Structures are given as C-alpha cells and as structure tokens.
Structure 1
Amino acid sequence: MLSWVVRRTRLPLLSLRCLDCRSESATTGEGRFRVNANGKLLDVWLLVRCVSCDRTSKLTVHERAPVSSVDPVRLDGYHGNDPDLVAAVLLDPLLARRGRFALDWRGAWRLDTAPVRADATWPVQVEVVFADPVPVRPDRLIAEHLGLTRAEVPRRVKCDVSLRRPTTTGFNFLVMAEAAVRG
C-alpha cells in the first residue's frame, strides 16, 4: 500500500471583499491578533490584510467574552501571535461562517507521495492522509498525480469516497491496471 499525504504549505488566502478597493482576496500575512480588554470583558480579532490595497480588517474571534471564559494558554497565544493558533483560528469553519468568507487553497498545499513503481503489482492500493484540512477533489488529486485524465479516473479507480466531492478527511483508493479496464 502506498501512502500519500496532503500538507498545507502556507495559510490559504481568504475570499473576502475589501471595503476600499472591492478586491476579493485577503491574507493573514504573518498572522496577528488584536486583543482588547474592557474591564472583565475581552475582544479578540484576527487581523487580515487586503492583497490589493493593504487595508487591514478584523475578523472577530471573541466578542465581549468574560476574561475568565478564555483559556489562559490560548490567551497567551493571542498576545504572542502564536502561528499555530493563527492557523487553528483561521481554519475553524465557524469563524468562516461568522466572518462570511471562504478559504482559497490554490497554491497553499502540496501532495507528498512515493511514486508508483513501473513493476508494481496491479491493482495498486493507495491511502490518502490529510495532515491539514485542505479540501481537495479526489478525482483531481488522483488524475494529476497519476497522469490520468479526469475521465479515466472513474474507470480505473475504485474509491471509498465520492470522487467529485471535495474532502478534508483521509480516504483509500485502488488503481486498476490499464489492461484490466479494457479487458
């Protein structure tokens, strides 16, 4: 069995309309939080920057939350702009829904694989593991890496998930030999 791993190479861009220039693309840059305390209440924002005009906007992480309700380790991460915490907050689907943005993963991930050997015994079984929740369509991933057309993929591949729906969870597939498909 071969193992393929999908990894994030950088944080994805955000599909978020800029209020100044109407561009649709924003980035977290190096990842910064803004923390504001008002008495015993806390506001935390993730700062994002427009790729076109450099305008900074805020995505609400916590709004008027009692300081005692925020984990002290997490609060230290907000103050220290912890890169892992920036990634965790940005990849949280609840934040995307509240902030009304989508993530643009183009160019933000890679596939680590071992090549299929020419003398491999057919059919070849492959396990795909996601190190990060990168949404990819299995048919595109398989076609691109194996050098197949997307039309060939359903004929030559048996998969335990829908080939045409993006997934962020691991899956297995079986690649049939070309001769077995024709015969």
Structure 2
Amino acid sequence: MLPWVVRRTRLPLLSLRCVDCRSASATTGEGRFRVNANGKLLDVWLLARCVSCDRTNKLTVHERAPVRTIDPAELDGYHANDPGLVAATLLDPLFARRNRFTLDWRGAWRLDIPPAPLDEAWPLQVEVVFEDPVPVRPDWLIARGLGLSRNEVLRRTKCDIPLRRPTSAGFTFVI
C-alpha cells in the first residue's frame, strides 16, 4: 500500500466579512489570543486581521468563563500565544460555527507522495491520510497526484468513498 499524506503548510484564511471594508477574507496571521479578566471571569478571543484593510476582529473563544473552568495549561497557552493551540482553536468546527466563519484552504496545504516503485505490480492500492481536516474532493486530489484528468480518475479508480464529494477523512483507492 502506497501512503499519500495531505499536510497543512499554513493556517487557512477565514471567510469572514469585515465590518469596515466588506472584504470577505481575514487571517489569524501568526495567531494571537487576547485574554481579559473581570474579577473571577475571563474572556478569551482569537484575533483575526482583515486581509484588505488590516482591521482586527475578535473571535470569541471563552466568554465570561469562571477562571477555575479553564484548564491551567490551556490558559498558559492563551497567554503565550501557543501556535498549536491557535491551530486547534481555529480548526475546531464548533468555534467556526459560533463565530460564523468558514475556512478557505486554498494554498494552505500540500500533497506529499512518495515515489511509486516501478517493480510493484499494478493495480496499486493507495492510502490517503489527512493530518488536518482539509476538505478536498478525492477525484481532484487523485488527479493532481497522478497527473491525470478527473474523468480519467473516475474511469480508472475504485474508491471506498464517493469521489465527487469533498472529504477531510482518510480514504483508500485502487488504480
């Protein structure tokens, strides 16, 4: 079985309407949190910057949460602007739904393919693994990886999932 891996190269852009310039793209850049304490209650936001006008928006992570309900290691990560915590927060579907944005993955991922051994018998079985939840159509991914057209991919491959529906879960196919 030949392993293919879909890897994130950077954080995806956010499809989020800016209140100033009406642009539809924002970025978290290097990823910064803002933590505000009011007595024993904490507010935590992930800061997002508009790509067009540079306005900063706050995306709510925790709102009026008692300090004792937040894991101390997580709170330290918020204060230190931990890149892993930024990525985990940004990729959380509940966080995206709560803050009304979607992720734009264009240019934010790559497909790593090991060289296919020529002595291996055809048909080849390939396993595709996603390190992050990058939504991509399997027919497009296979076509890109093999250098074929999507129609040729549909004709030559057998797959355990529908090829024309975006997925971010691993799958296998035979060509």
- Between 163-172 and 81-90, the greater mean CA deviation after superposition: 163-172
Give the secondary structure class of the aligned counterpart of 1:30. Answer: strand
| Deviation (angstroms), 1:115 | 2.8
Letter in 2 for 1:43: D
| Deviation (angstroms), 1:170 | 0.8
In the alignment, the residues of structure 2 paired with residue 46 and residue 33 of structure 1 have an alpha-carbon distance, to the nearest angstrom, of 5
Summarize the alignment of residues 10-159 of structure 1 with structure 2, pairs less than 5 Å apart: 10-159=10-159
Give the secondary structure class of the aligned counterpart of 1:33. Answer: strand
| Deviation (angstroms), 1:122 | 1.0
In the alignment, the residues of structure 1 paired with residue 126 and residue 98 of structure 2 have an alpha-carbon distance, to the nearest angstrom, of 37
Letter in 1 for 2:101: F
| Deviation (angstroms), 1:154 | 1.6
In the alignment, the residues of structure 2 paired with residue 63 and residue 56 of structure 1 have an alpha-carbon distance, to the nearest angstrom, of 18
| Deviation (angstroms), 1:118 | 4.4
Residues paired across the two proteins, number: 175
Tell me the TM-score normalized by structure 1. 0.93
| Deviation (angstroms), 1:116 | 2.9
Equivalent residue for 1:178?
Answer: none
Give the secondary structure class of the aligned counterpart of 1:133. Answer: coil
Letter in 2 for 1:22: R
| Deviation (angstroms), 1:167 | 1.1
Q: Which runs of 5+ in 1 are unaligned?
A: 176-183
Question: 1:70-124 CA distances to partner (integer Å, 9 max, x unpaired)?
Answer: 0000000000000000000000000110111100000000011113344441101
In the alignment, the residues of structure 1 paired with residue 115 and residue 13 of structure 2 have an alpha-carbon distance, to the nearest angstrom, of 30
In the alignment, the residues of structure 2 paired with residue 62 and residue 165 of structure 1 have an alpha-carbon distance, to the nearest angstrom, of 34
- Between 129-138 and 21-30, the greater mean CA deviation after superposition: 129-138
Give the secondary structure class of the aligned counterpart of 1:88. Answer: helix
Taking only the aligned residue pairs, the percentage that are identical comes to 78
Question: 1:10-58 CA distances to partner (integer Å, 9 max, x unpaired)?
Answer: 0000000111111010000110000011111110000000001000000
Q: Which runs of 5+ in 2 are unaligned?
A: none
In the alignment, the residues of structure 1 paired with residue 115 and residue 160 of structure 2 have an alpha-carbon distance, to the nearest angstrom, of 21
Letter in 2 for 1:15: S
Tell me the TM-score normalized by structure 2. 0.97
Question: CA RMSD of the aligned region, Å?
Answer: 0.9
- Between 145-154 and 20-29, the greater mean CA deviation after superposition: 145-154
Question: 1:141-178 CA distances to partner (integer Å, 9 max, x unpaired)?
Answer: 00111111111112111011111111111110000xxx
